[in-house]
Structure formats: structure tokens, C-alpha cells
Structure 1
Amino acid sequence: MSDAVSRAVTNLLHDQRLRIPLAVLKGFRNGLVYGVKIRLPHAIVMTFLFHNGSLQEKLSVILSLTYQHARNLALLATIYKTTTMLAKKGMGHSSPLVTFLGAAVAGYIMFGSNNKLNMQVNLYLLSRIILALVKLAVKRNILPSMNVFPWFAALMWGASLVLFEYEQGSLHPSLSASMTYIFHDSEHWTNLWDLFVYNTLLQ
């Protein structure tokens, strides 16, 4: 690349009139890259551990999950950055309400479909948000100062086991199956083999 072209490109990249579209473009790029980085290894491990089918079918599942996660994050970033940056430009400042509305619109569009991947991502966010809100309440003296995490763990496990024992049908099937294996199947055995070595009860 010649010096003249390099300088022209540099000038364009620093042109304030292009700041919003370039920020949106980079948000799209970063969402895409992060989606691939976070989903691809997870999809490979989970698919080869728990999915039946041919190698081609497994690779198809891996690529489909990775594409969906990367696309959703890329377009979420695009919608969020576009709406909030345009609002900030029009108002002269941003605000928590603008941030919330921009993110809510993006989340509704990109993660509003009820499927396994979106469920996983949304529940991941929910757990982090609950913990963050408790920490914020402590920081702002709404709750007394304390180590929040053990209480968070206590609440999560207490609630999950009560639901499992008394309202099992309300839990996600995979969580219910895991808890059945750990907490209910541990009460049954016929010999040393299925007591210590191999649980035959789910076979």
C-alpha cells in the first residue's frame, strides 16, 4: 500500500463523521469473533460427548450452533451500537434508559426466539445479573456489607433442590435428569458393582 493510500485510509478511520458506522462495523466484527471463540470449543465437546450420529451430522450440529451464536452476537452488537450511538448523537448524551432500551430491542430481536442456544445464553445472563444486583445493593448500602457469593450459592441450590423434589416438572429436562442421577439414583443399588463402579439404573 502506497503512503498516499495509507494516509487516506488513516484519515478515513479517524474521520468523526464515520465514527458511528465504523463503531457499528467493529461491533459486528467483535460479536462475530467472540461468538465463534466461545461457542465452537463448547459445541465440539458437547456434540462429541452427548450427540449420536455420523461424523458429518456432528460437524453439521457444531457449525450450526457456532453460526447461530456468532450471528446473534454480531447482530445484537450492530443493533445496540446503532440505536444507542444515534440516540447519544441526537440527545448530546447517553443515559441508562437509552442503554436499556437499545439493549432490550437488540435482545428481543436476536435472542427472543425460544431455542436451546438462546435459553442457555439468557439464563447465563440472568445468573450474572442476579449476583451483580445483590453486589450493587451491598455497594449502595441497601443490604449490609457481606460476602455475597456464598448467599447467592445458598439461594440457588436451595431453590433448585426444592423445585427438584417437589415441582420436578417445572425444571429443564437436562437439569432434572442430572439431579435424578445424583440425588435419587444414589438411593438404589443391587450389588457392589452398581454401588461404586457403574450406575445401571439409567440404562
Structure 2
Amino acid sequence: MFIQGGFHITSDEERSYIPVNEERACQLIPRWPQKIRSVFTATRTHAINLAKFVTLYKTFLLIQRRLNGGKERDLDTFIAGGLGGWWVFGERTAINEQIVLYVMSRTLFSLLPRLYSTHPPAPLNPVAPLSHPLPNLTSPAANPPPIPPAQLPFGVVAALSWAGVMYMFRHRAERIQPGMWSSMKYLYHDSEIWHDLRTLLWHNM
């Protein structure tokens, strides 16, 4: 197949019905309806999964409280969250993977020492339960404002995180989460090959 007069010419010289320039233009036009549909589907799935989790979580809490004579135990939330997480987010899909990564990173990050404490005296460890009776869910005591982490622990975690991910990307890239792998490949590997400033500054930036 070769190009003549703006049309594709096959080996038997039969013209196709699509001019070359028009065909190329069609290939460059983003398929916005598909992208919009994908975003809508992902958003709907995310919302439905969260609604399922909230329903299951509160149901498991209610069951445990009734089994315990109407009292809430320290690990009730842990058990309810674990059961709901397994039920709703236990299947590995692209959306569930993003949600689990988000929740896991925030959970681990919450274990870092804080700049200060709002509970005099300070808790013995970052996962120490509140004293009983537990505050009402709508009370200020149950909804304290977030406290930022202390600078030194944050810096250590930042250094270890980047050290670890760069090592893994170099030696065990197949274990990196797909979205991050794609971004890192684009930033650190694809940028190794460039032919001019346009390639370096446009395609690799």
C-alpha cells in the first residue's frame, strides 16, 4: 500500500473512500464520548461501593452493639471496617485498587508522631483507644480537627518512601502499582531518549 494524491492506494490500485488527511485527523481527534463514559462509570462505581461500605459498616456496628448489651467495644469499628472492606473492596479492580491505596496510605501516615496533642496527657501510642464512656459520634470530642505530623518523622518517611520506590522501580518494576509505574516510566526511562529540544521539552515533559 502507498499514498497517491491524498488517497490510500492498494496493491491493485483500488482507491479507498477516506482521504489520507481526513483519516489522520480522525485518528488525532480524542474519543471524548468514550472518555466521558469511562469517567461517569468510574465515578458511579466509586459512589456505589462507598455506599455499600457505609451500609455494611453501620450494620456490623449495630449487630455488635446489640450482642454486647448496647455497649460499644474498642474493636467494634476495627471488626466492622475489616468485614466491610473485605466484602466491598476485596475484589481487585482498578477502582478498588485506587481506593485501597488511598486508605492504606492515610492509615499508615496517621501513625506518625504529631506536632502536638489535644489529649492531656498525650496517648501512650498512636492507636491507643479513647477512654470510656466513648463520646457521642456527633460531639466535638469525637470529631477533633486533624493535627499535622511532626517535621522530622515526616522527612524520614519522605526519604524512605522515595528511596524505596526508586529502588523497586529499578530492580523490581513489575511490583509497582500500574498507574505509578506508567508515570515513572514516562519520567525516568522515556526521557533517556530524545533527538532535539522539541522531543525533550514537549514529549518527555
TM-score normalized with structure 1 length: 0.62
Query: How much has 1:54 moved relative to structure 2?
Result: 5.2
Assess, with a 3 A threshold, how the Cα gap between structure 1 residues 82 and 60 changes in structure 2: closer, same or farther. same
Assess, with a 3 A threshold, how the Cα gap between structure 1 residues 95 and 155 changes in structure 2: closer, same or farther. farther
The sequence identity of aligned pairs, in percent, is 29
The within-5 A match list for 1:108-187 is 108-135=86-113, 140=123, 146-147=150-151, 148-187=153-192
Partners of 2:189 and 2:39 in 1: how far apart?
32
Query: How much has 1:63 moved relative to structure 2?
Result: 2.6
Q: What's the counterpart of residue 33 of structure 1?
A: none
Q: Verify the 8 A CA contact 2:60 2:80 in the aligned structure 1.
A: yes
What SS does the corresponding residue of 2:39 show, helix, strand or coil? helix
What SS does the corresponding residue of 2:75 show, helix, strand or coil? helix
TM-score normalized with structure 2 length: 0.62
Query: How much has 1:83 moved relative to structure 2?
Result: 1.3
Q: What's the counterpart of residue 25 of structure 2?
A: none
Aligned residues: 146
Structure 2: where are the runs of 5+ without partners? 1-29, 117-121, 127-148
User: Runs (4+) of structure 1 moved beyond 3 Å?
Assistant: 138-143, 197-200
Describe the superposition over 1:127-163 as per-residue Cα deviations: whole angstroms up to 9, x where unpaired.
1111112337x965669x9523222222221111110
Assess, with a 3 A threshold, how the Cα gap between structure 1 residues 151 and 75 changes in structure 2: closer, same or farther. same
Partners of 1:105 and 1:199 in 2: how far apart?
44
Partners of 1:122 and 1:162 in 2: how far apart?
23
1:196 aligns with 2:174: no
More helix by share: 1
Assess, with a 3 A threshold, how the Cα gap between structure 1 residues 90 and 164 changes in structure 2: closer, same or farther. same
The within-5 A match list for 1:12-91 is 53=31, 55=33, 57-91=34-68
Assess, with a 3 A threshold, how the Cα gap between structure 1 residues 163 and 94 changes in structure 2: closer, same or farther. same
RMSD of aligned residue pairs (Cα, Å): 2.7
Structure 1: where are the runs of 5+ without partners? 1-51
What SS does the corresponding residue of 2:112 show, helix, strand or coil? helix
Partners of 1:90 and 1:80 in 2: how far apart?
16
Higher relative contact order (CA 8 A, sep 6+): 1
Partners of 1:79 and 1:158 in 2: how far apart?
38
Partners of 2:124 and 2:159 in 1: how far apart?
21
What SS does the corresponding residue of 1:113 show, helix, strand or coil? coil
More strand by share: 2
Give 1 or 2 for the bigger CA radius of gyration.
Answer: 2
